Amino acid sequence: MTEVLDSNKLLGRPNQYTSAAWITDTGARAGETGIDGGAVVEVFENEADAKVRSAYILRVLKEAGPVFGTEWHHLKGTVLLRVSGQLSPSVNKQYAAAFGS
Tens digits of residue pLDDT in 10-29: 777 778 888 899 899 988 88
Contact 10, 17 (CB under 8 A): yes
Per-domain boundaries in the chain? 19-99
**24-73 per-position pLDDT tens digit:** 998 888 777 788 899 999 999 999 999 999 999 999 999 998 888 899 99
Which pLDDT value is given to residue 7? 77
- Say which residue, 72 or 7, is predicted with more confidence: 72
Asked if the model's pLDDT at residue 78 lies above 90, the reply is yes
- What SS3 class is residue 42? strand
Q: Reduced to 3 states, what is the DSSP secondary structure of residue 101?
A: coil
What b/e string do you get for 1-25 counting C-beta neighbours within 10 Å, with b at 16 or more? beeeebeeeebeeeebbeebebbeb
